[in-house]
A and B are shown apart, each in its own frame.
Chain A
């Protein structure tokens, strides 16, 4: 699969992707590309169709029409291969609260088919990088929210996926912890992992390489935060969002 990735600089390619539930069109013919190693912000108000779009990209939902490839695999025809090559983390931390830290690593490593030896070395390295070596045997439940979130992110990328989907990963976390979390995202991106992130926080949108804003199931804009701000003649992404909502 590595050869496939290198042939293809776009890690996500989406063409007129549409999802209808009965007569309701949740996602209306969206098209975009995400480059390898990019931090791609996927924004939009609640109900704009973000979740449906992510579910299609992760191989959970079959598109009604349109095309899409993720990590080189067609999301409609080979969702299983897509699942194998992505990582996923949601707002709700994605870890088993009643398991110990290392048991969570072992479980998810096993689910992604990693060898026991690799699981052990990756776990040790990741805990060391986070400075959590002492927490190896701690039950996740007793850790602070910010720590759980960092651990969940590490678990989501432990199998070294081509791309990681983060669905509002910083919901309900203190500002300082959010900043630390974004440092982890940058580190992952430097290692070549593409980051696809949705967020409610417009200050976080500024950290992305490129953002897209969805509205009523369609993509309104797609550009770098810098260009968006200058196009709308405003100083922050918050105002860009506001301007878009007005239209």
Chain B
């Protein structure tokens, strides 16, 4: 046991000597949360909207008023025709065009029908669909208010679907679980594997293997500092997301932390596995980068929805630990579901850890033989 403590102290010394790395590790979650939360947002904000209406009409005036009173839209003052308006959109001066059909007011009142053309800039499809669903929801509500009977005859106006869990369409809700998965993966798997492989590369592993210290201790003591770092990062991310991004923890904080511990453990065993099959730090870093980081970012549903992927890829995503973790965090943190709903995710992660651990121990023994 004393040997183990001696060794853990050594690992902390290594980390403390490398100030740059430790700063990167501690600042990374802050930077990522801020970037994903504020810079890389697809939230609807300050949408420049241009109304085209040929005659004065009451219904249109009401709709315009409603649209502009929502905080997401700002008006563009212009008497442009439809063609001119499209040119304005090309030059990015307008993001949404609301074009009322001729005699809109009259047809609405008399026949309960009318046409409103909504044109959004499709060069950013996510943004465009968000803008369209917002504005059409507002329009539908206004029309319903003005003439309830006409709801079914709305011509081009479609009803937006209701948004569960994220009524304000804040994209940070989606990113927080993703960032958690990514950061924990990087710290546990990448850093652990690099620090073990470094001993192989410098030749100190040879000395340790000849010494009476147990190989298990060498490996365990490597993971202790990175486990602690991960816990610090987990706390940083949760605090930032609750107090800065205003993403609430609606479910149980205790189970959220527990599920994170399971994921940290999976990542640590992955790091061990990588360190047991590589011989240089560069190789360990490349493998962690390609085999862990890319799937964690691209296949876990963090950025691209899994349901939109080809079936073969969807099967593949099941083998990415981050997929399950991110799902569990979404359920716990954002949807506020009870623990029973996360059983599948937990059940998926545990065998992964067991497989990685037994593979890496087998590999480690093999090397000793």
Q: Which residues of A contact B (CB under 8 A)?
A: 58-62, 80, 83-84, 86, 88-99, 103, 106-108, 110-113, 139, 165
Q: How many A-B residue pairs have CB under 8 A?
A: 70
Distance in angstroms between the alpha carbons of A94 and B211 in the assembled complex: 12
- Residues of A close to B369: CB separation below 8 A: 61-62
The 21 sampled A-B contact pairs (Cβ below 8 Å) are A60-B210, A83-B210, A83-B212, A91-B203, A94-B204, A95-B204, A96-B10, A96-B14, A96-B204, A98-B13, A98-B14, A99-B13, A99-B14, A99-B17, A107-B6, A108-B211, A110-B3, A110-B6, A111-B208, A113-B3, A165-B210
Nearest opposing residue in chain B for A139, CB measure: B17
Q: With A60-B368, A92-B202, A93-B203 in contact, is A111–B213 under 8 Å at CB? A: yes
- The complex places the Cα of A203 from the Cα of B43 at a distance, in Å, of 76
Residue of B at shortest CB range from A155? B207
Question: Counting chain B CB atoms within 10 Å of each CB, which of A84, A92, A139 scores highest?
Answer: A92
- Chain B nearest CB from A76 CB (Å) reads 13
Decide if B7 touches A111 in the complex (CB within 8 Å): yes
Q: In the complex, which residues of chain A have a beta carbon less than 8 angstroms from the beta carbon of B106?
A: none
Cα distance A59–B6 in the bound complex, in angstroms? 23
Given contacts A84-B212, A92-B206, 15 further A-B contacts (CB under 8 A): A59-B210, A60-B210, A61-B369, A88-B207, A89-B207, A90-B203, A90-B206, A92-B202, A92-B204, A96-B14, A98-B14, A99-B10, A111-B6, A111-B212, A139-B17
Interface of B is mostly: helix
Residue in B203, B207, B368 with the greatest tally of chain A CB atoms within 10 Å: B207
Query: Separation in Å of the B6 CB from the closest CB of chain A?
Result: 3
Looking at the assembled complex, report how far the CB atom of A231 sits from the nearest CB atom of chain B, in whole angstroms: 34
Q: Which residues from 9 to 35 on chain B have a C-beta closer than 8 Å to any C-beta of chain A?
A: 9-10, 13-14, 17-18
Query: Which residues from chain B contact A98 at a C-beta distance below 8 Å?
Result: 13-14, 17-18
Question: In the assembled complex, which residues on chain B have CB atoms less than 8 Å from the CB atom of A139?
Answer: 17
With A99-B13, A99-B17 as given contacts, are A113 and B212 in contact (CB-CB < 8 Å)?
yes
Q: How far is the CB of B368 from chain A (nearest CB, A)?
A: 7
Chain A nearest CB from B270 CB (Å) reads 25
The verdict on B235 contacting chain A, using a C-beta distance below 8 Å, is no
Inter-subunit contact B211/A112 (CB<8 Å): yes
Chain B contact patch, size range: 20 to 34
**Contacting residues, chain A, for B368 (C-beta < 8 A):** 60
B209, CB-defined interface residue at 8 Å: yes
Cβ contacts under 8 Å, A80 to chain B:
212
Q: Separation in Å of the B197 CB from the closest CB of chain A?
A: 15
Q: Which residues of A contact B17 (CB under 8 A)?
A: 98-99, 139
A91 to B204, CA, bound (A): 11
Report if B2 contacts A (CB, 8 A).
yes
Contacts A60-B368, A99-B13, A110-B6 known; A88 to B211 CB distance under 8 Å?
Answer: yes
For the complex, give the distance between the alpha carbons of A90 and B213 in Å.
18
Question: Contacts A60-B209, A86-B210, A111-B211 hold; do A103 and B204 have CB atoms under 8 A apart?
Answer: no
- B209 CB contacts on chain A under 8 angstroms: 60
Across-interface contacts of B206 in A (CB, < 8 A): 88, 90, 92, 94
Alpha-carbon separation in the docked complex, A61 to B227 (Å): 32
List of B residues within 8 angstroms of A165 by Cβ: 210
Assuming the A-B contacts A60-B368, A83-B212, A113-B3, are A107 and B10 also in contact, with contact meaning beta carbons closer than 8 angstroms in the complex? yes
Within 8 Å by CB of A94, from B2, B6, B7, B203, lies B203
Q: Considering the chains assembled together, what is the distance between the CA atoms of A88 and B211 in angstroms? A: 8
Q: Provide the residues of chain B in CB contact with A89, threshold 8 Å.
A: 207
Chain A residues with CB under 8 A of B18: 98
Within the assembled complex, what's the spacing in Å between the Cα atoms of A88 and B203?
Answer: 12
A170 → chain B, closest Cβ, in Å?
15
The answer for the CA separation of A50 and B143 in the assembled complex, in Å, is 91
Is A113 within 8 A of B203, CB to CB?
no
Chain B: CB-nearest residue to A107: B10
Chain B 194-228, CB-CB to A under 8 Å as 1, else 0, gives 00000000111011111111000000000000000
CA distance A96 to B18 in the complex (A): 13
On whether A92 and B203 interact (CB within 8 A), knowing A98-B14, A98-B18, A110-B6, the answer reads yes
Interface centre among A91, A95, A98 (most CB of B within 10 A): A98
Measured between alpha carbons, how far is A58 from B248 in the docked complex, in Å?
Answer: 57
Shortest B195–chain A CB gap in Å is: 11
B residues near A83, Cβ cutoff 8 Å:
210-212
Q: Kindly state the separation between the CA atoms of A110 and B206 in the bound complex, as whole angstroms.
A: 17
**Measured CA separation A93–B18 after assembly (Å):** 21
Q: How far is the CA of A93 from the CA of B206 in the complex (A)?
A: 11
Q: Which 8 A-B pairs have the closest CB atoms?
A: A110-B6, A92-B203, A88-B210, A83-B212, A98-B17, A84-B212, A94-B207, A58-B210
Nearest chain B CB to A209's CB is how many angstroms away? 23
A113 touches B2 (CB 8 A): yes
Query: Closest approach, in angstroms, between the C-beta of B63 and any C-beta of chain A?
Result: 68
